Amino acid sequence: MKAVHFGAGNIGRGFIGALLSEADYETTFVDVNEKVINALNTHGEYIVELAGTDATEKVNNVSGLNSLNEEDKVIEAVSKADLITTAVGPQILSLVAPLIAKGLMKRGRPGNVIACENMIGGSTLLKGHVLEEVGAEEKPLLDEHIGFPDAAVDRIVPNQVQNDPLTVKVEPYYEWVVEKGAVKGGIPEIQGITFVDDLTPYIERKLFTVNTGHAVAAYLGKYKGYSTIKEALEDPSIKQRLEGVLSETGKVLIEKYGFDKDQHQKYIQTIIKRFENPDLSDEVTRVGRGPIRKLGAGDRLVKPALEYIDLFGEKPEQLAHVVAAALSYKNGDDPEAVELQKMVDENGHVEAFKQITQLEEGHPFVQAVHQQFENIS
């Protein structure tokens, strides 16, 4: 079996590549990082270290291609692949879509494309970009034969500090859930993927607990001068805020999906323990990266806040506090953080928030966020 995976970064090598290798796939990684691509082609294998244990996994049968200057080879690889996956970041999906579209149009059999990005509807978004690249006559063919099942992917893989460009240290925990009904052809036999009829509860539970919680630690942690998620959570006021926020998102999730209250509380506690893992060092700047994306109306902070207001008719003050911290996030190395602070400098925090979310001045959540700037703590 052959797979093409776009994005040989932390989660690509540390999770998707590892599971594909265990399932005996021969995987071609497509990236723009020459150092990683060369190392993949030189060694054909790499090591995944499970943090806090002595266990390592060897990932073999891997190679690399550059999406910028080896386009024909990428298209050829896509045309022959049994499975295509991505973990490049939501904003990069439109850039890889033309190559995926050209490859898919060359193949004469069903196949599946799974975007493993932290967002609701990642594969559906990618499908939209791919369809923009093909002619009107080809669209129905592609629609009929190529599946774009949405997915939820969970494993914390921090930025790597090893000298070796391929070895990757990950937490032992993982979850990969894929929408079954959208798969075309046979269900891929990959141990570690759970296929479900309705992905929505899984992706929302993951995004609004793991990623919302992570954002609390990252934005309040950075605001208070901490470097890592673990350090941030050693501050009792941040830990308390994290619990407050996850109680608000938990209330929404339980109401929407009928999750058992005690089970959900256990899920929250497991996640907090994962954030506090002493064997992983995860920078607040990695977790807080892309603040404009994270402040978007459909993402981890604002979507559950809006749903909280709709469901309970009250303002989620804890989420509003974290949004205020996110709007104050500064990092000169992160282009979105630089752009955010430019918006804030020009028009103020609340205007920047309205611009990003398209919420009106009088919206209760805009008012709730406004009230939080006085005392971010």
Ligand X SMILES: NC(=O)c1ccc[n+]([C@@H]2O[C@H](COP(=O)([O-])OP(=O)(O)OC[C@H]3O[C@@H](n4cnc5c(N)ncnc54)[C@H](O)[C@@H]3O)[C@@H](O)[C@H]2O)c1
Ligand Y SMILES: O=P(O)(O)OC[C@@H](O)[C@@H](O)[C@H](O)[C@H](O)CO
Q: Which does 376 bind (CB under 5 to 8 A by kind): ligand X, ligand Y, none?
A: none
The one among 290, 296, 304, 316 contacting ligand Y by CB under 6 A: 290
Residue 67 binding result from ligand Y, ligand X, none, given CB thresholds of 5 to 8 Å by partner type: ligand X
325 labeled part of a ligand binding site: no
Q: Which is nearer to ligand Y, 125 or 287 (CB)?
A: 287
Residue 181, marked binder: no
287 binds, among ligand X, ligand Y, none (CB under 5 to 8 A by kind): ligand Y
Question: Do the annotations mark residue 11 as ligand-binding?
Answer: yes
Contact partner, 127, from ligand X, ligand Y, none, Cβ < 5-8 Å per class: none
3 binds ligand X (CB under 6 A): no
User: CB under 5 to 8 A by kind: which of ligand Y, ligand X, none does 210 bind?
Assistant: ligand Y
142 binding ligand X? (CB under 6 A): no
Interaction of residue 87 with ligand X, rule CB under 6 A? yes
Euclidean distance between CA atoms 360 and 363, whole angstroms: 5
38 marked among binding-site residues:
no
**Integer Cα distance of 139 and 331 in angstroms:** 42
Q: For ligand Y, give the closer residue by CB, 248 or 282.
A: 282
The three-state DSSP-derived secondary structure of the chain is CEEEEECCCHHHHHHHHHHHHHCCCEEEEEECCHHHHHHHHHHCEEEEEECCCCCEEEEECEEEEECCCCHHHHHHHHHHCCEEEECCCHHHHHHHHHHHHHHHHCCCCCEEEEECCCCCCHHHHHHHHHHHCCCCCHHHHHHHHEECCCEEEECCCCCCCCCCCCCEEECCCCEEEEEHHHCCCCCCCCCCEEEECCCHHHHHHHHHHHHHHHHHHHHHHHHCCCCEHHHHHCCHHHHHHHHHHHHHHHHHHHHHHCCCHHHHHHHHHHHHHHHCCCCCCCEHHHHCCCHHHHCCCCCCCHHHHHHHHHHHCCCCHHHHHHHHHHHCCCCCCCHHHHHHHHHHHHHCHHHHHHHHHCCCCCCHHHHHHHCCHHHCC
Q: From residue 291 to residue 330, what is the string marking binding to ligand X with x (rule CB under 6 A)?
A: ----------------------------------------
Minimum distance of ligand Y from residue 182's CB (angstroms): 21
Q: How many CB atoms lie within 10 A of CB 185?
A: 14
Interacting residue with ligand X among 28, 112, 118, 372 (CB under 6 A)? 118
Distance CA 282, CA 278 (A): 10
Q: CB-wise, 154 or 204, nearer to ligand Y?
A: 154
Footprint on residues 105-164 left by ligand Y (CB under 6 A): 118, 154-156
Task: Report whether 302 belongs to an annotated binding site.
Answer: no
* CA pair distance 18, 23, nearest whole angstrom: 9
Looking up tokens 């009088």, which residue turns up? 362
Q: Which is nearer to ligand X, 157 or 320 (CB)?
A: 157
Which of the choices ligand Y, ligand X, none does residue 96 contact, using the CB cut-off of 5 to 8 A by kind? ligand X
Binding part of the chain for ligand X, among 42-50, 149-157, 351-359, 365-373 by CB under 6 A, reads: 149-157
CB atoms within 10 A of CB 8: 30
Closer to ligand Y by Cβ: residue 92 or 134: 92
Residues 335 to 374: which contact ligand Y by CB under 6 A? none
Total binding residues toward ligand X, as defined by CB under 6 A: 26
Decide whether 111 or 288 has the Cβ nearer to ligand Y.
288
> Is residue 284 a contact residue for ligand X (CB under 6 A)?
no
Enumerate the known binding-site residues for NAD(+): 3-14
- Residues within the interface to ligand Y (CB under 6 A): 118, 154-156, 210-211, 214, 287, 289-290
- Residues within the interface to ligand X (CB under 6 A): 6-12, 30-33, 67, 87-90, 92, 95-96, 116-118, 153, 155-157
